[in-house]
Amino acid sequence: MKKPAIFLSFALACGGAAAQGVSPADPFLRQAPAQATPTLRGVATAPTAAPAGNLNLTGMQNATFGNPRTSNNGSQTRVVFDLAPGVTYTLMPTFAGLRIDVQGARVLPAVTAALGSSVSEYRAGGGQATVVTPFPLSFTEGWRASEATLATGGRVLILEFGAVVSGGASDSLRALVRNSPPTTTAATAEANAVLNSPLGLRAAGSGTGTPGAAPATVSPPSRTTQTQTPAPVATRPTAANPDQLPPGDTVQPGKQFPPAPALPDANAARPSALTGRVAGQVQPGALLTAPRIGKNPGLTRLVLDLPPGSTYQIQPTALGLRIELTGLSVMPQNAQNVSPEVRTWRFEPTTAGVEITLVTATPTTARSGWRAQLLPPTPGSDRARLALDLSPALANLTPLAPSERLVAAVPPVPATRGTAILALSANYVQPRVVLDPGHGGRDPGAVGSVIEKEVTLNVALRVRDLLRAAGVDVVMTRDSDRALNSVKNTDLQMRAQTGSPGTQLFVSIHVNAMEANTALRGYGIETWWNPNHPMSSSLASILQRQMVGVTGAFSRGLKSNQSLSVLRNSRIPAALVEIGYASHPVDGLNLQDANYLDRVAVGIAQGIREALTSGVTAGNAVGGGGK
């Protein structure tokens, strides 16, 4: 569901919004050009300790802050800001991302979507910039910040974001970090305005991630100490253990978050309608009231009460959802920082009725990131209820059409030198691949809303059948609930070496998990590779793209690891797919859903087919064969 980065100009983002009545805290209003005077800033921000004595008024006319440079390394996103002389700033990790309050420079207004897989949006203006992340940040988890001095003498602020990034501010920057401010009045009111709803929604705030855990200690200010060392690069520390296990395998079964209550007659296999109409005659003068909001772990439910005769039209966008309503009107209103899944909702009157903008944690597609259902009025009311469920983990659970499940026949592939088994001609052989359903027997793998060993076997058997029907020779490391060896390292080595000479590809299938205290940050699909073979990264890339394309799941991107035993010990192009999180309340439901598993399997099978037909094979690499 990742989309290319899209830049929205200020005019487009504002869309001619009526400014009257909009709270000064409206992030869209902050795009107003060049108002970064200290006074205005003071109004907009909570009273806090700005670094004392560093306000540089003389530099303000010319110094600017913004236009960050970004780069991506796997699922990590790096954002680099140039720091003009005299610029100071404070960093504030929140559940919605990292807020940067800037002094001594004008913050360049911007609204930019999807800077990378770990930065879903960048917004700036009015003295502050916010790097919006698809996961909540604590003081030390989800981000890392440091400063560096370039060879030119220029100073830069380096921010790195990722679900597995940790560290927070570097020692020299720690004094610039402060706690999240109390929620804005609008958001608090909204959070309290929940829900004597007949839908059985949970009260606001219950069970959601804890934003900004307080730091144990705050070191004294040390603004004069600049980091002189080169910028740290976005690498994960690799474990000393050369036989590292796949991610999620070492997680102990922990507290499970209950899934959100299902809507009446909810059926995830049915695509949510993008349009709808409430029965009855339009009521002149009907007004839309603020949404009712229910917060559940990993999912936010937003309910719109629609009068008779009104219509809705939902448009998935890179920022979230846009909803056009007719048959009613509204007073402009909005709320920010509503929940980890909903950054902002905004109501605006239009000539036809109402336009609603929902800024969500990650981009949405027609089939993922959200679900909607139009429910009839409850007794005593004449308003129907449009219930919108929003979660970045909501995948496409609609059944595939038979034609979409068909994997086209795979033609013979070039033989690996000296291993022409089943030769169909002198140099071409029937392609053979190894599928490795992770775990088995006494080793269950991750245990959460599903048991990993069961899901991996389920998916692998589906992939096997799809590939065999396409003419591929499939070797399974296991096709029943068993381990290959009771010693884990031996077991992994045996898996890696399954298959005989002439085997083209090795694909290991796993389910991910997070510890209970970070469980809500883990959702989506990722693929691991190892430099065991020159074609392994290509195989991983193809598999990731195909799986995300068919499932609509959140893409956590590619990850490389030097020490994943099951990949490192393979002599052919190898990849390990993590198809979802057993520890996440929404992803866990995906993994229990036959349509999701079917889509994952088709994605893997199509990926293997694409690899085999595009030259990503054991025998087709410079120096192929590995070590």
Residues that bind Zn ion (CB under 5 A): 246, 249, 438, 445, 510
Phi, psi dihedrals of residue 548, rounded to the nearest 5°: -65, -35
Phi, psi dihedrals of residue 476, rounded to the nearest 5°: -100, 135
20, with CB counted inside 10 A (0-12, 13-18, 19+), is exposed
What single string gives the DSSP state of each residue in 455-494? HHHHHHHHHHHHHHHTT-EEEES-SSS--S-SSHHHHHHH
For the CB of residue 317, give the shortest distance to Zn ion in the complex, in Å: 35
Please identify, using beta-carbon distances, which residue of 110 and 575 lies nearer to Zn ion. 575
Please identify, using beta-carbon distances, which residue of 78 and 439 lies nearer to Zn ion. 439
For the CB of residue 309, give the shortest distance to Zn ion in the complex, in Å: 53
Please identify, using beta-carbon distances, which residue of 427 and 480 lies nearer to Zn ion. 480
Please identify, using beta-carbon distances, which residue of 464 and 510 lies nearer to Zn ion. 510
Contact 507, 435 (CB under 8 A): yes
d(C-alpha 569, C-alpha 515), whole Å: 28
d(C-alpha 130, C-alpha 96), whole Å: 9
For the CB of residue 495, give the shortest distance to Zn ion in the complex, in Å: 11
For the CB of residue 538, give the shortest distance to Zn ion in the complex, in Å: 23
Please identify, using beta-carbon distances, which residue of 89 and 506 lies nearer to Zn ion. 506
Nearest residue relative to Zn ion (C-beta): 510
- Could you tell me which of 536, 589, 524 has the C-alpha nearest to residue 567? 536
Q: Encoding tokens for residue 289? A: 């009231």
340 C-beta neighbours (distance < 10 Å), count:
28
| CA diameter of the chain | 81
Please identify, using beta-carbon distances, which residue of 2 and 510 lies nearer to Zn ion. 510
For the CB of residue 236, give the shortest distance to Zn ion in the complex, in Å: 18
d(C-alpha 114, C-alpha 107), whole Å: 20
Please identify, using beta-carbon distances, which residue of 147 and 249 lies nearer to Zn ion. 249
- The helix-helix angle for 536-551 and 594-613 (nearest 10°) equals 140
Please identify, using beta-carbon distances, which residue of 168 and 246 lies nearer to Zn ion. 246
For the CB of residue 594, give the shortest distance to Zn ion in the complex, in Å: 21
For the CB of residue 548, give the shortest distance to Zn ion in the complex, in Å: 19
Distance of CA 233 to the CA centre of its chain: 21
Q: Encoding tokens for residue 536? A: 């392994």
For the CB of residue 145, give the shortest distance to Zn ion in the complex, in Å: 32
H/E element, 42: helix 38-44
Please identify, using beta-carbon distances, which residue of 457 and 535 lies nearer to Zn ion. 457
For the CB of residue 438, give the shortest distance to Zn ion in the complex, in Å: 4
